[in-house]
Structures are given as C-alpha cells and as structure tokens.
Amino acid sequence: MRKLIHAFCTLATFLAATHAWSQAYPTRPVIFASAMAAGSSTDILARETANALSTRLGQSFIVEVVAGAGGNVAAQKVVNAQPDGYTLLFVTNSVVSNQAMRKKPEFDITRDLVAISPLFEGNFGLYVNPTIPGNTLKDFITHVKANPGKINYGTSGIGGIVHLVSADFAIRAGLDIVHVPYKGGAEYMPATISNQVQFNFFDVATAQPQVDAGKVRLLAVASKQRLPGLPNVPTFEESGFPGYTPTFWMGLYAPRNTPQAVIDRLNGEVRAFVAAPDVKARYAARGYQTIWLPPADAQKRVADEVAQFNKTIDTLKIERQ
C-alpha cells in the first residue's frame, strides 16, 4: 500500500509540474519557420497567426522565412530543432505532397513532425498571361494544344501541391506543357506577369489585385461551386472537368518529441483564434475558410494525404525526385 501511495504521489507531482510548465509556456520568443517566400499568401498568414498567438500568449512569435523545395527546407529546419516548442513550422500541404514525391525523403512527416492543427484552407485558380488568346478555359486549352511543348507553367517547387495540382490538370486536359519550379508564389506569379511562364495555379484569395490590374486573367476556380467573391468566374467542373476541386491548406507543426502539454496548449490557442466569429468572417471575406482539428486528427489528416498523394503520383505516372 505504501508503495502504491508513493507511486500515486510521484505521478501526481509529475502531472502537476507538467501542467504548470505548459501553462508557463512560452517563456521566451518562439520562431515560426515560414515555408514559403516572403510576401506569399502562406507567409502573410503565418505572420497573422504569429501575431495572434503573440497576443494570446504574451510572448513574441517571430516569423523566419525559410523558403525552398516546396516547404522541405523549412520542414527540415524544424525536424532538426530542439523539441521544446520554440521552433515551429507553418506550411501548406505542399510539404505533405513533397513526402510522396521523394524517392528517398529527407524526413518522414508522419514520424518526425507533429501536426498541431490545420488553420486555413483556400482555393486554386488558373491564371494566364494576358498574351494568351481567348477568355475561357476552353480557349486556353485549344491554344496550348496548338503549341505543344511551348507553354510553360510556374509552381512553388517540384513535388509541391501546386505542381501536383497543375500536373493533374495537364493530364486531365491532355496538355504537353513545361514545368518551371520557383521558390514560391511571390516568384512564380511575377514570372507569369512578365511572360517567363504563361500560366499558373494560384491562391484566389491573394491574386485578384493582379487580375483587376489586367496583369493576368483568371479562367477558372477549383471549387465545387462558384466563389461568392468571384461570381462571374466558372469552376473547373462547369468548364468540363468534373471532380477537379483541389484545395490547399496551411497548418502548424512541431518537432517530434515536443511535450504533449505544449502541443495541447498550442492546439487550444489555435482553436480559440480560428473559431472566433469575427476571425472566421474576416478570413472568409478574403477567400479562406478557417479550420481546426485536435492533434490526433490533424496527424491522421497528414497521413491520409500522404497516402492519397502517393496514389495520385502513381496514377499520373509522375517521376519521383
């Protein structure tokens, strides 16, 4: 009985200390490794999330841009970081698709990173340089087929979500096009504007100013229904591509072996942030849906997407890197 009481007291002391430590976290600045180029939609959302957590937790969350390889460079930095909750990763599901695209992955996203929660989900649009003739997706496809191997498209990197979305579309449409990878949207959208590449898939929430300025044209959006903010833009389904509704999402990760108390604390703060009615409305007006999952469900979503991307890559016969 005495041993049992001692064990119980030891456990109670440990749990109390863990709870107290998690409540004290963070006691110093936290680094957010932002996986896409400065000025990209992902980077902007990373900074807004960092600011929200700074306010909620009373400690600085500092965004550090670590762009490249569709999120893999930033992910590797976080994988190698101390698992103490002071170096976190903010990235799109490009890092998930990258896992499936690698012949020999540098790390295992389902093992070496802990998904804290997804936060935002958005829609892709197909944008073309104004020199491309025609105003519809059908016109664009006709032009590309008349110029096999001469039309370039930009993405945020080989194996990234934008690459797979673009490749999937090319297969569905029967197009012979050339892939030009960049470090992020802040590079490949300007490349489309300057006609270095002729089209891209981009986040509709941030590209509209370029459309309004006549620098690019938006031909279709990848959503099940027309977007409220773009009622005159048809969906891919309306344009002859049933079932083509890929989305992208952004989430927060920590290194493996980060204390569960820290993961739970961050998850709870993320939930409080994205669930606030004014926050949901504010991001909806910008074209994003706020989302949240418990850590276990977030981790399952990552694992399920790795499996789905593997299936997509195999089906499309995309060569792994």
- Domain 123-221: give its CATH architecture: 3-Layer(aba) Sandwich (3.40)
Q: CA angle, corner 307, sides to 101 and 317, nearest 5?
A: 45
Between CA 136 and CA 196 the distance in angstroms is: 21
Determine if residue 104 is left, alpha or beta; phi over 0 gives left, psi from -120 to 50 gives alpha, anything else beta. Answer: beta
Q: CA angle, corner 125, sides to 121 and 126, nearest 5?
A: 150
Q: Which fold has domain 2-121+247-316?
A: D-Maltodextrin-Binding Protein; domain 2 (3.40.190)
What is the rounded average pLDDT for all residues in the chain? 90
Name the pLDDT band for 2 (thresholds 50, 70, 90): low
Q: How far apart are the first and last CA of the chain?
A: 60
Name the pLDDT band for 183 (thresholds 50, 70, 90): confident
Out of 13-22, 167-176, 237-246, 286-295, least confident range: 13-22
- Calculate the alpha carbon distances from 28 to 23, 25, 31, 78 in Å: 13, 8, 10, 17
Q: Is the pLDDT of residue 16 over 80?
A: no
Q: Which residue is it, tokens 């073309």?
A: 128
Q: CA angle, corner 108, sides to 167 and 180, nearest 5?
A: 25
Domain ranges (residues) in the chain: 2-121+247-316, 123-221
Query: What does DSSP say about strands 87-92 and 217-221: parallel, antiparallel, or unpaired?
Result: unpaired
Query: What does DSSP say about strands 113-128 and 178-181: parallel, antiparallel, or unpaired?
Result: unpaired
Name the pLDDT band for 311 (thresholds 50, 70, 90): confident
User: 2-121+247-316 and 123-221 share one CATH topology?
Assistant: yes
